[in-house]
């Protein structure tokens, strides 16, 4: 009975879109400060969780995974003028890579 319930719950599982961002920043400490200040705006637009990584060889090279409630909300936030201003303030360098993923 319990196994059947687990199978049913697994089938009902909602898959959260994950936005992967990889790129370089001018200065990690400045970026981190601005990134942390922007947490409320991300949450208000549907960001559920953030996982941040930086290269062991270059501390200004970052990989960030954002879990969003919907891909549409993530895309809308990513295209917002507010985010563009925040990225400029944070010193994000051109050439960053972005892609959407889902867990399987």
Residue 72: CATH number of its domain: 3.30.70.100
Judge whether 84 lies within some domain: yes
pLDDT at 71: 94
Total domains in the fold of the chain: 1
Q: Are 53 and 63 in contact (CB under 8 A)?
A: yes
Determine which helix (DSSP H) or strand (DSSP E) holds 64, and give its type and residue range.
strand 61-68
Judge whether 8 lies within some domain: no
The structure tokens 């409320």 sit at: 40
- pTM greater than 0.85 (yes/no): no
Q: Are 51 and 65 in contact (CB under 8 A)?
A: yes
Question: How does pLDDT run across 11-29, given as a tens digit for each residue?
Answer: 556 678 999 999 999 999 9
Q: How far apart are CA 80 and CA 78, in angstroms?
A: 6
Q: How far apart are CA 48 and CA 26, in angstroms?
A: 27
Judge whether 9 lies within some domain: no
Domain range enclosing 93 = 14-102
Judge whether 20 lies within some domain: yes
Token digits of residue 27: 């200065």
Judge whether 81 lies within some domain: yes
Question: How does pLDDT run across 25-59, given as a tens digit for each residue?
Answer: 999 999 999 999 999 999 999 999 999 999 999 99
């Amino acid at each position: 009975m319990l196994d059947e319930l687990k199978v049913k719950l697994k089938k009902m599982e909602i898959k959260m879109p994950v936005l992967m961002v990889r790129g370089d920043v001018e200065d990690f400490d400045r970026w981190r400060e601005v990134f942390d200040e922007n947490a409320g705006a991300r949450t208000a637009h549907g960001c559920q969780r953030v996982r941040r990584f930086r290269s062991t060889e270059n501390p200004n090279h970052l990989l960030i995974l954002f879990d969003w409630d919907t891909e549409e909300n993530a895309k809308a936030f990513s295209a917002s003028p507010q985010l563009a201003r925040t990225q400029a303030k944070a010193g994000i360098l051109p050439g960053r890579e972005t892609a959407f993923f889902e867990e399987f």
